[in-house]
């Protein structure tokens, strides 16, 4: 859910998309991707991740969601490529060749 929230904010503010356009894109993403809610458990885990790894809180929310969903790889350009979180989640920057 945090990724969708961030996309909506950037798409409207920086890309100047209308809210109907943003909604259409988000609808497409939700049809092809599993979306997990940000819960109190996610929030608590994010606080621990932010503290332990020194990353920003909103990025830590995404990492915490991936950890709670037992993902093995998180694709993002916002964190260190190759970093391993909690010995099981590998960060991959999709733009690094």
Residues 14-61: pLDDT tens digits?
A: 999 999 999 999 999 999 999 999 999 999 999 999 999 999 999 999
Statement: the pTM of the whole predicted model exceeds 0.85: yes
Give CB contacts under 8 A, 24+ apart, made by 50-57. 53/83, 53/85, 55/79
Average model confidence (pLDDT) for the chain? Answer: 96
Residue of 76, 74, 68, 72 whose CA lies nearest to 88: 72
Query: Quick one: what percent of the chain has pLDDT higher than 70?
Result: 100
């Amino acid at each position: 859910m945090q990724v969708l929230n961030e996309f909506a904010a950037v798409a409207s503010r920086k890309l100047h998309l209308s809210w109907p356009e943003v909604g259409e894109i988000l609808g497409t993403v939700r049809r092809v991707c599993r979306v997990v809610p940000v819960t109190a458990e996610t929030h608590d885990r994010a606080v621990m991740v932010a503290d332990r790894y020194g990353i920003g809180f909103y990025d830590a929310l995404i990492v915490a969601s991936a950890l709670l969903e037992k993902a093995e790889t998180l694709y993002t350009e916002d964190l260190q490529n190759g970093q391993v979180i909690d010995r099981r989640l590998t960060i991959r920057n999709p733009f690094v060749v």
